[in-house]
């Protein structure tokens, strides 16, 4: 994964700077973020985001949410960390960038193009896509390949329910996803730090697993731009880069689709990307992780195979060598 070499300060800007100056700094960051070159991500470098102490914009409350029995009982990571320490290269390569740069992002109207091996292809309006479904709150562990993690109360719909409505044909073996490609709305796309649009994929049985979620919110509210508004994938047993944001395309296909990080660095990022403490990234260990919100000096915790969801998903990979199919 590309690495960012800016070292984040542990001291929040809002604590050391008058608010007016701090707000100007936010404007400065906004323009500077586009200009800054994407360099390298520093795994495990984790401090409070400079923006964590400000009042983040909140999403519209979602109604009629049911609680899922698939939730972990672990304490969720505070909202301001989940919404200000992000990876979303379409809005800049820094962790602070998406919260600033996606502030004006308008996720409506929003269309999702569905095609490939389905009986019901078409362009679905976002609201029509989710209207027939009940929204569930799923509190999941979420582990980034950079060895940080968080606990997120996502709100969403099992992907399997949505896919069934498209009537997959027997030739559908994989699902390919695509993010919006629009540099005017996603200013980080003016730089070719990745090849746009961001694309991801799942094997059909992974997509249909009950844990796989299409998230439309978190903390009971609509997703903010920085978290992938209005609709993103969440695959809790895989590294975070599989969880593609701001989806505009879903295609069911018969061969393994290309994925953005695999294209960018094939020796570092495979198609499967299952969380696995036994298989190191070529440049760092995956054995431990640091929980977001605890600060850089908080103790690391052991990473669990399949991020702790092995009982539900390990059988999907029976007979595969996970050090080769990483
Ligand atoms: N999706 C798109 N379109 N662009 C991205 O840069 N980053 C990925 C993933 N989805 C990314 C993306 C990575 S590396 C991670 S760790 C998660 O989003 C981060 O999700 P979060 O910011 O909501 O925590």
Cβ of 289 closer than 6 Å to ligand 1, yes or no, is no
Question: Would residue 100 count as lying in a domain?
Answer: no
What count of residues does the chain have? 326
Task: Give the confidence band of 57 by pLDDT, cuts at 50, 70, 90.
Answer: confident
Question: Would residue 91 count as lying in a domain?
Answer: no
Question: Would residue 167 count as lying in a domain?
Answer: yes
The predicted-structure confidence for 214-263, as pLDDT tens digits, reads as follows 999 999 999 999 999 999 999 999 999 999 999 999 999 999 999 999 99
Contact 207, 116 (CB under 8 A): no
- Taking the CA atoms of 247, 177, 31 and 224 in sequence, report the sign of the dihedral they define: positive
Cβ of 47 closer than 6 Å to ligand 1, yes or no, is no
Question: Would residue 87 count as lying in a domain?
Answer: no
Closest atom of ligand 1 to 233 CA is 10
- Give the model's pLDDT for residue 22: 32
DSSP reduced 3-state for 41: coil
243 CA distance to ligand 1 middle (Å): 6
Residue identifier of the C-alpha nearest atom 5 of ligand 1: 88
Residue identifier of the C-alpha nearest atom 24 of ligand 1: 86
Question: Would residue 245 count as lying in a domain?
Answer: yes
Quote the number of domains for the chain.
1
Token duo for residue 230: 């209005």
> Among 174, 181, 168, which Cα is nearest to 245's?
181
CATH number at residue 271: 3.90.420.10
Question: Would residue 139 count as lying in a domain?
Answer: yes
- Give the model's pLDDT for residue 2: 52
Question: Would residue 101 count as lying in a domain?
Answer: no
> Among 282, 180, 303, 176, which Cα is nearest to 239's?
303
228 CA distance to ligand 1 middle (Å): 8
Closest atom of ligand 1 to 226 CA is 22
Give me the domain span that covers residue 129.
Answer: 64-77+107-317
Q: What percent of the chain has pLDDT over 70?
A: 83
320 CA distance to ligand 1 middle (Å): 27
Question: Would residue 322 count as lying in a domain?
Answer: no
Cβ of 198 closer than 6 Å to ligand 1, yes or no, is yes
Is the pLDDT confidence value at 75 over 50?
yes
Mean pLDDT of 4-32: 34
Alpha helices in the chain (DSSP H): 13-16, 19-35, 79-82, 97-101, 126-130, 159-165, 204-207, 260-264, 310-313
Cβ of 240 closer than 6 Å to ligand 1, yes or no, is yes
């Amino acid at each position: 994964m590309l690495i960012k070499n800016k070292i984040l300060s542990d001291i929040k800007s809002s604590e050391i700077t008058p608010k007016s100056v701090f707000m100007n700094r936010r404007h400065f960051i906004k323009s500077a973020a586009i200009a800054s070159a994407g360099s390298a991500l520093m795994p495990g470098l984790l401090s409070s985001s400079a923006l964590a102490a400000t009042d983040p914009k909140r999403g519209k409350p979602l109604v009629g949410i049911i609680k899922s029995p698939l939730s972990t009982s672990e304490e969720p990571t505070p909202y301001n960390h989940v919404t200000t320490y992000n990876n979303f290269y379409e809005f800049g390569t820094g962790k602070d960038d998406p919260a600033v740069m996606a502030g004006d992002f308008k996720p409506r109207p929003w269309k999702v193009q569905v095609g490939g091996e389905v009986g019901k292809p078409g362009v679905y309006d976002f609201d029509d896509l989710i209207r027939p479904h009940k929204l569930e709150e799923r509190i999941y562990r979420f582990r980034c390949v950079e060895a940080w993690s968080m606990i997120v109360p996502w709100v969403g719909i099992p992907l399997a329910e949505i896919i069934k409505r498209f009537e997959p044909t027997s030739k559908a073996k994989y699902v390919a996803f695509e993010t919006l490609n629009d540099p005017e709305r996603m200013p980080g796309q003016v730089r070719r730090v990745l090849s746009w649009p961001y694309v991801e994929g799942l094997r059909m049985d992974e997509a249909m697993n009950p844990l796989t979620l299409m998230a439309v919110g978190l903390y009971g509210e609509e997703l903010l731009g920085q978290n992938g508004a209005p609709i993103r994938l969440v695959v809790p047993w895989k590294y975070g880069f599989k969880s593609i944001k701001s989806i505009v395309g879903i295609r069911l296909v018969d061969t393994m689709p290309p994925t953005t990080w695999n294209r960018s660095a094939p020796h570092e990022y495979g198609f499967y990307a299952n969380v696995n403490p036994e298989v190191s990234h070529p440049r760092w260990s995956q054995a431990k992780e640091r929980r977001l919100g605890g600060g850089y000096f908080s103790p690391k915790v052991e990473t669990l195979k399949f991020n702790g969801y092995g009982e539900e998903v390990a059988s999907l990979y029976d007979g595969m060598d996970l050090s080769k199919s990483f």
